Amino acid sequence: MTLSLRAPLMTVAPRATMAVLSLIGVLVGWEILARALASTYLLAGPVDVTRYLIDNSGLMLRALSVTLYEAMWGFVWGNLAGIALAAVVVLVPRFENLVQSLALVVFCLPLVATGPILRVLYGPGLGPQVTLAALAVYYTTFVPTVVGLRATPSTWLDLVASFGHGRWKELTVVRATAALPYLVVGLQIAAPAAFLGAMVGEFTGAERGMGVLAIQAMRSLDVQATWALATVASLVSILAYLVVGGIGKYLWPDRPSIIMASPAQNDGAGRGAKWLKTCGLGFMTLGAVLVLWWGLFELFDVNSFFAKRPMDVWSYLVTSPKALEHRLVLWEAMGETMAFAVPGYLAGLLLGAVLAGVFVLMPNLAGLVLPVSIALRSIPIVTTAPLIVLCLGRGAAGTITIVAVMIFFPTLIACLQGLRQAPGQILDVFNSFATSPLRTLFLARMPAMLPAFFASARMAVPAAILAVTVAEWLSTGTGIGNLMALTTSTSDYNMLYSSIAAVTGLSALAYAAVGALERVVLTIYAPEQVR
Amino acid sequence: MPSDLPKPPDVVCNGLRKVFGHGAQQVEALASTDVTFASGTTTALVGPSGCGKSTLLRMVAGLETPTEGSVLIAGESPRMTSKKGTLSVAFQDPSLLPWRTVRSNVALARKLAGQPADKTAVDDLIARVGLAGFEDKRPAALSGGMRQRAAIARCLATRPNLLLLDEPFGAVDELTRRRLNLELPRLWEKPGATTLLVTHSVSEAVLLSDRILVLSARPATIVADIDVALERPRTARMIDSAAFRQVEHEVSEILFDNKGAGRRFAAE
């Protein structure tokens, strides 16, 4: 019998009851806290929020419908793009590494800067928000879909081949079916992410929508409105997550355990050759990005005043007389950003992992807190950034908290799933020596959790960058996010593009670095996951 | 092995019964069973898949709580015996920790049992299961048979005097299994542990045990109790002997005519 986390809970109380209890607990605690802190004008309780929503129902509904509309189209386009890319990877394995790296680089684009640029390109309208929603979505669909398309049992493929069919048939008939459960997981993550993309799009200069109202409320220190908007954004995200997840669970009850697998290294080359290959891929990716960047701008013949080409950035940062000065500004801003992003990132990861361990040791506590955590996990914290800024101020604490919280919940859930990965028979071995739960946690469960932890740490890199840049864009007045906001409003497009290039490059490199670390961990802790 | 080791324990099961699930989904895995496993003997439990033989073994190991009845190991509860570290379990899956080397996996058992680390003894044991030279390899670098050898080494590392083997050779191919069957039991036969072996293979049961209990399909009941009066140590040549074939035939008869056996049992 496997010792699952859920089993003991089921006997204590049905899950639904626990979920309702914890929801009531949160609401009551929130209201009490709000009343206790009434004099600080930071917190609006559920009663105030509800009153505000009723009083302003017309406005809220109009804003919500705009944002939902953008999120929906972003969801559709982003997922279609993710699926199409995954199909390309499987159909043309030769381009696999390049497509994967390109997809990653595009995912690492800082949304707060892409937003305003898209606004210039698209003109007024919903285009930028829909595009940002799609950008926020496609990568988390692409990765599990590739894993799913690969997860096809090889005997199925042999069966198709034995009837004389080729790769196309293989993809459409066999692999597609096997990938569906994985796709569903991707779609579930995508649903709240699309909402996040739409909100960030609205933060950066839209005319209508929830994001616009949120910024207005934050700037005018309207506590009730800020809390009401954050509540609605959270509820919509949770609902989207649950609905897509529910449909998926109904259609495919078995959730695959490995979803965000690290990019495969499918060759048996030696260590030296591998390094060479990795470097080669890096240069190839860089080259492809530059060609695409230049090529697309030329193709659509966009005005070179606001659409800077790679050459412009190069001369701005390297060859122009003031290049050193430019580099210093950029360097300083990046430094400020990292000072927030790195502690927040590490704190979020650490807290998630530690709390997961605590939950395994105290299943009753987990039963109460877990439903709330799962709900909060689905909230893209960035949509509630105005609220955190309101509560924690514009200093370091607020920004670091936004980054940490953004990473904390996904890590917690991933680690809990990872802790359950310890095979039942290994736990039986420990049990047959009457080993204490704490010792079992450290000797068996924690090491078995590492693969899930590192997958989460890798996916958290772009999330951390997104969170920190949004926070800086909105409020702090420091860092690269602020630099992007500033250069957008002063039309200093050379600096804006330089910032984008720097953030994207750094984000992609950090992602690759965590991925490399992850592969080392996997070869030791989960050799079956490394092909 | 020194002779001053304490005598291996008797295992006494009194009215032992196990029911899984609640309400309408209740499944009786083991019907009320009285059985005693004598000190220092090897008993094989054979029976159809999923019949509840593993459940019996797991209750002796303290991994499952009996619904009714009790298990006494030298007069003590399984949990007490577990804490002393005198009991060892091996499973069908080698269940080695993938991130630990062979040596570290074997040494882990001593650590968990609260015994002092003893690198010489651990390396000696690894050599005796035939893994000399593989001490620093991780399980992923070993074949299925080698992993199973490592698991057996871990199982013996604490010098247990009660061995609970749950189809320990069930997942390896037939050739490897036969090899392990002949090589490994020597390691525990000499110190003379009380051994319970759950297996699907009739010839394995005959080869390894002093006594074979045949269990019926769910809920498991003991339908036959057969002595295996072959001399020890058992050898490859014995497998072809008439005496061996005779016992094998006897067990198979009962096993593959289980309905009849059940009826016969009920009538008695």
How high is the mean pLDDT in each 10-residue block of chain A (531 residues)? 42 65 84 81 82 89 92 94 90 84 88 84 84 90 85 73 72 77 84 87 84 84 84 86 84 66 51 74 88 88 83 89 90 91 93 90 77 68 70 76 85 83 82 89 88 88 88 82 88 89 90 88 79 53
- Residue B96: closest C-alpha in chain A: A426
Which chain A residues contact residue B163 at CB under 8 A?
A: none
Nearest to A432 among B89, B97, B98 (CB): B89
Q: CB B97 to CB A428 under 8 A?
A: no
pLDDT in tens, B136-159: 999 989 988 899 889 989 998 988
Is the distance from CB of B38 to CB of B47 less than 8 angstroms? no
- Distance, CA of B13 to CA of B222 (rounded, Å): 13
Quick one: tokens of B212?
């074979």
- Distance, CA of A323 to CA of A312 (rounded, Å): 12
Is the distance from CB of A473 to CB of A481 less than 8 angstroms? yes
A 10 A CB-CB count for A120 gives 17
> The tokens 């002063």 sit on which residue?
A490
Whether residue B201 is found in the same domain as residue B255? yes
Contact with chain A for residue B95, Cβ under 8 A: yes
Q: CB B97 to CB A426 under 8 A?
A: yes
Whether residue B99 is found in the same domain as residue B66? no
Is the distance from CB of A412 to CB of A248 less than 8 angstroms? no
Q: CB B109 to CB A433 under 8 A?
A: yes
Whether residue B95 is found in the same domain as residue B196? no
Whether residue B167 is found in the same domain as residue B149? no
Is the distance from CB of B223 to CB of B253 less than 8 angstroms? no
ipTM field: 0.84
Q: Give a yes or no: residue B95 inside a domain.
A: yes
Whether residue B73 is found in the same domain as residue B197? yes
- Domain count of chain B? 2
**B94 to chain A, minimum CA–CA distance in Å?**
8
Contact with chain A for residue B89, Cβ under 8 A: yes
**Which of A429, A436, A439, A440 best tests the B interface by mutation, with the highest count of B CBs <10 A?**
A429
Whether residue B142 is found in the same domain as residue B257? no
Is the distance from CB of B69 to CB of B223 less than 8 angstroms? no
- Distance, CA of A531 to CA of A529 (rounded, Å): 6
Whether residue B168 is found in the same domain as residue B242? yes
Q: CB B79 to CB A434 under 8 A?
A: yes
Q: Give a yes or no: residue B141 inside a domain.
A: yes
**B61 to chain A, minimum CA–CA distance in Å?**
6
What domains can be seen in chain A, in order of their start residue?
6-263+278-529 (1.10.3720.10)
Interfacial residues of A (vs B; Cβ cutoff 8 Å):
1, 423, 425-426, 428-435, 439, 443-444, 447, 524-528
- End residue of a domain, out of B107, B135, B159: B159
- End residue of a domain, out of B159, B183, B201: B159
Quick one: tokens of B48?
């159809």
R_g of chain B computed on alpha carbons = 18
- Distance, CA of B118 to CA of A421 (rounded, Å): 31
Closest CA to A422 of A438, A454, A442, A445: A445
CATH code, domain with B169? 3.40.50.300
Q: Please say whether the dihedral angle defined by the alpha carbons of residues A222, A225, A229 and A235, taken in this order, is positive or negative.
A: positive
Name the 3-class secondary structure at B227.
strand
**B110 to chain A, minimum CA–CA distance in Å?**
10
- Residue B59: closest C-alpha in chain A: A432
- Residue A440: closest C-alpha in chain B: B112
- How remote is the C-alpha of A450 from its chain's centroid? 19
- Distance, CA of A9 to CA of A426 (rounded, Å): 22
Helix (H) / strand (E) containing A210: helix A210-219
**B102 to chain A, minimum CA–CA distance in Å?**
13
Whether residue B169 is found in the same domain as residue B246? yes
Residue A360 β-bridge partners: none
Distance separating the N- and C-terminal Cα atoms of chain B: 44
Whether residue B128 is found in the same domain as residue B200? no
List, as ranges, residues 160-189 from B with C-beta within 8 Å of A.
164
A 10 A CB-CB count for A466 gives 29
- Containing structural domain, residue B141: 87-159
| C-alpha distances in Å from residue A455, one per residue of A42, A415, A464, B99, B159 | 36, 10, 14, 17, 40
**Which of B19, B87, B91, B196 best tests the A interface by mutation, with the highest count of A CBs <10 A?**
B91
Whether residue B155 is found in the same domain as residue B168? no
Whether residue B63 is found in the same domain as residue B168? yes
Which chain A residues contact residue B138 at CB under 8 A?
A: 524, 527
Is the distance from CB of A208 to CB of A215 less than 8 angstroms? no
pLDDT in tens, B83-113: 888 899 998 888 899 889 999 999 999 998 8
Nearest to A432 among B61, B99, B140 (CB): B61
Q: CB B112 to CB A435 under 8 A?
A: yes
Whether residue B139 is found in the same domain as residue B168? no
Pairing of strands B42-46, B211-215: parallel
**Which of B19, B55, B58, B95 best tests the A interface by mutation, with the highest count of A CBs <10 A?**
B95
**Which of A3, A11, A428, A433 best tests the B interface by mutation, with the highest count of B CBs <10 A?**
A433
- Distance, CA of A188 to CA of A165 (rounded, Å): 33
Buried-exposed string B211-241: b where 16+ CB fall within 10 A, e elsewhere: bbbbbbbbbbbbbbebebebeeebeeebbee
Q: In what order do the strands lie in the sheet with B27-37?
A: B27-37, B11-20, B68-73
Q: Give a yes or no: residue B182 inside a domain.
A: no
Which chain B residues contact residue A431 at CB under 8 A?
A: 62-63, 82
- Give pLDDT, residue A12: 47
Better pLDDT: A140 or B45: B45
- Give pLDDT, residue A13: 53
Q: In what order do the strands lie in the sheet with B222-227?
A: B87-90, B162-166, B194-198, B42-46, B211-215, B222-227
- Distance, CA of A215 to CA of A208 (rounded, Å): 11
Tell me the count of A-B CB pairs closer than 8 A. 59
Q: What is the dihedral of CA A243, A247, A248, A249, to 10 degrees?
A: 100
Q: Give a yes or no: residue B133 inside a domain.
A: yes
B74-83, B114-123, B181-190, B199-208: which range is least confident on average? B181-190
